[in-house]
């Protein structure tokens, strides 16, 4: 189950700025499409009840986070966010980071997801992976489906230890598609693109 929202636990070298796009039409089209696909993904998981609500100081948010690999790093949901109302400007570009130093470098109008380190670690461990979805389903955690790899330990969400456990589980899966159970917390699915990652996750519903 999702833990109480605490915001990012990592050091964030963050630049607050509106999204900027390439001057080249073809690249700009791809950048805009990636944002649209992530917004659609957020709303789809919320509709299935896989992105549960929580209350934070500014109101209500939703758990879960979603990302797509880009040429410069990855695009991820910002924090806090609500999956039912998020728009393309609620997404954040992560340009890189240092896992062992608990550091993320990003640009956007919001801070990057509090679990950005996990996405960073999985992308580093799985070069062929192009998208990651993270959701919550307590009932599914009670009886983990066959073929789902469970992390071999627990750690607080958003920490370096948590990210390393997820990356280790991801590395044990051959190919670019797979599903991980984050012990006592939730699930991650990844794929070569966002459609493949969603299919891997939503096949249980």
pTM, to two decimals:
0.94
Query: What pLDDT is stored for residue 5 in this prediction?
Result: 63
Q: Indicate if the alpha-carbon torsion angle 20, 21, 22, 24 is positive or negative.
A: negative
Q: What is the CA radius of gyration of the chain?
A: 15
Tokens of 31: 């950048």
Domain-by-domain residue ranges, the chain?
11-202
Closest by CA position to 124, among listed 53, 83, 56, 74: 74
Per-residue pLDDT of the chain (205 residues; tens, 9 = 90+): 566 666 688 888 899 998 888 888 787 889 899 999 999 999 999 999 999 998 877 788 999 999 999 999 999 999 989 999 999 999 999 999 999 999 999 999 999 999 999 999 999 999 999 999 999 999 999 999 999 999 999 999 999 999 999 999 999 999 999 999 999 999 999 999 999 999 999 999 9
Query: What pLDDT is stored for residue 2 in this prediction?
Result: 63
Query: What pLDDT is stored for residue 3 in this prediction?
Result: 62
Phi, psi of 155 (to 5 degrees): -155, 160
Query: What pLDDT is stored for residue 131 in this prediction?
Result: 98
Domain covering 11-202 assigned CATH 1.10.10.60 in the classification? no
Query: What pLDDT is stored for residue 4 in this prediction?
Result: 63
d(C-alpha 63, C-alpha 178), whole Å: 21
Query: What pLDDT is stored for residue 96 in this prediction?
Result: 94
């Amino acid at each position: 189950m999702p833990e109480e929202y605490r915001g990012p636990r990592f050091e964030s070298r963050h630049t607050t700025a509106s999204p900027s796009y390439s001057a080249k039409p073809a690249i700009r089209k791809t950048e805009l499409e990636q944002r649209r696909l992530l917004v659609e993904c957020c709303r789809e998981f919320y509709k299935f009840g896989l992105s549960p609500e929580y209350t934070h100081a500014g109101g209500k948010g939703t758990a879960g986070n979603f990302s797509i690999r880009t040429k410069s790093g990855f695009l991820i949901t910002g924090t806090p966010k609500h999956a039912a109302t998020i728009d393309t400007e609620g997404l954040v570009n992560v340009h890189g980071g240092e896992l062992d130093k608990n550091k993320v470098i990003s640009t956007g109008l919001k801070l990057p997801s509090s679990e950005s380190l996990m996405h960073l670690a999985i992308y580093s461990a799985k070069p062929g992976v192009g998208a990651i979805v993270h959701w919550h389903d307590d009932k599914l955690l009670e009886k983990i489906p066959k073929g789902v790899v469970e992390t071999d330990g627990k750690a607080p969400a958003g920490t370096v230890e948590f990210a390393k456990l997820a990356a280790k589980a991801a590395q044990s899966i051959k190919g670019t598609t797979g599903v991980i159970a984050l012990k006592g917390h939730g699930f991650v699915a990844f794929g070569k693109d966002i459609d493949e990652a969603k299919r891997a996750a939503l096949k249980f519903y």
